[in-house]
Amino acid sequence: MKRRELGAGLAALALSAPLARRARAQGNWPAQPVRIVVPFPAGGTADSVPRIVAEGLRALWRQPVIIDNRPGAAGNIGTAHVAGAEPDGYTLLAAPPPPLAINQHLYARLNFDPTGLRPIVIMGTSPNVVEVSTKLEVRNLRELIDLAKAKPGGINAANQGMGTTSHLTAAMFEAAAGVEFNHVPYNGTAPALNDLVAGHVDLFFDNLSSSLSFHQSGATRILAICQAERAPQLPDVPTVSELALPGFSAIAWYAIMAPRGTPDAVIQAVNRDAVSVIQQPEVQKRFVEQAVKPVGNSPEEAAAFITAESRLWGEAVRRTGLRL
């Protein structure tokens, strides 16, 4: 009898150990370094935005906040790593739309459930833009649409790769404007921009943050902004909505997420401190310099936003018929 009681006690102790660790983590969180996984390479906006926020969090938490780049498979590799991590707040995810709102519509199978990740905050947003080569004889969006209608498939539209936001934004534009482009996939933004500058392709639905300097230098021409309001960096450039296609919107955004099961207390703590960092004037200035609009919303608002974005991008994927 005593042996059975001892066995039951040991089993209960084994089951309670993870709960005890989690309780301790909540009580004095963070008590150790926090790792923020970015599922894309270093250097882009998806990497620089969380790095800015991480700097502020280090000062608040008095703990190292490590940015861990784990690129591959359109963000799926790093995101799967976080989805399987211990839900104690010490491994978080900072990601743009693909692994959170697009890839579940593109891939027949994923190694994680994006809807299982817990949204903490949207750090910021940055619109896509309609950008053309200076060698293309169009000066505004209406001329682009008229040319595309006159030459179906005759305009070469670069993208960062099949299924990326630039590819899907082009597909949404085709459907809304009743036009057809010749899609030219590249392995990322840089080679697509290089060929746009050289005139090897005509059109690119790129993110404003990466294309702004090319437009300002005259190397390319941004015809319109793909969001509801004009971008403060380009106040003279109109939106797609006001020029031709009312309601047209395609933006990049940068979210902080946590594994399923992360305690509410940790979610709220990370949100509170991340929002306080994002609200700092110097941080907002650095965001705007990268053509990123600071957000800093609640976990509930972030969740609703991601759900709406998933519906938007999912419809774009269905229009292309693309499956990976």
- Tell me how crowded residue 321 is: count the other CB atoms within 10 A of its CB: 7
The span from the CA of 292 to the CA of 285, in Å, is: 10
Cα separation of 25 and 31, whole Å? Answer: 7
Q: Where are the domains of the chain?
A: 32-125+252-320, 127-243
C-alpha to C-alpha distance for 215 and 220, rounded to whole angstroms: 5
Looking at residue 184, what is its pLDDT? 96
Ordered mean pLDDT values, 10 residues apiece, the chain (324 residues): 48 45 61 96 90 98 97 93 98 96 94 96 97 96 97 96 90 94 91 96 95 96 96 95 93 97 97 98 95 97 97 90 82
**Domain at 127-243, CATH class:** alpha beta
CA distance 150 to 204: 19
* pLDDT value, residue 27: 60
Q: What does the DSSP 8-state code read for residue 116?
A: G
Reported as type and span, the H/E element at residue 64 is none
pLDDT for the residue numbered 41: 86
Q: Residue 283: what pLDDT?
A: 98
Distance (Å, rounded) from C-alpha 143 to C-alpha 150? 10
Q: Are 41 and 78 in contact (CB under 8 A)?
A: no
Please name which of 57, 50, 124 lies closest in space to residue 82, comparing C-alpha atoms: 50
- Bridge partners for 225 per DSSP: 129, 239
The end-to-end CA distance of the chain, in Å, is 58
> Where does the chain show beta strands of DSSP type E?
34-38, 65-69, 91-95, 118-133, 156-159, 182-185, 203-207, 220-225, 251-258, 293-294
32-125+252-320 is classed in which CATH architecture?
A: 3-Layer(aba) Sandwich (3.40)
The 10 Å Cβ neighbour count of residue 42 is 12
Enter the tokens of residue 133: 């080569």
At position 136, the amino acid (one-letter code) is L
Q: Report the predicted TM-score, pTM, of the whole model to 2 decimal places.
A: 0.85
Backbone angles phi, psi at 80, to 5 degrees: -65, -35
Six token digits for residue 44 = 């882009």
Please state, in angstroms and rounded to a whole number, the distance separating the CA atoms of residues 241 and 236.
Answer: 14
Domains 32-125+252-320 and 127-243 agree in fold: yes
Report pLDDT for 44. 83
Phi, psi (rounded to 5 degrees) for 182 = -95, 110
Report, in angstroms and rounded to the nearest whole number, the Rg of the chain calculated over CA atoms. 22
pLDDT value, residue 17? 47
Q: What DSSP letter does each residue of 137-202 carry, written as one string? A: S--SHHHHHHHHHHSTT-SEEEESSTTSHHHHHHHHHHHHHT---EEEE-SSHHHHHHHHHHTSSS
Residues 6 or more apart in contact with residue 160 via CB below 8 angstroms: 166, 167, 185, 186, 187, 188, 189, 192, 206
Which residues contact residue 186 at a Cβ distance below 8 angstroms, ignoring those fewer than 6 apart? 158, 159, 160, 161, 192, 195
Residue-level pLDDT at 15: 43
Per-residue pLDDT, 78? 96
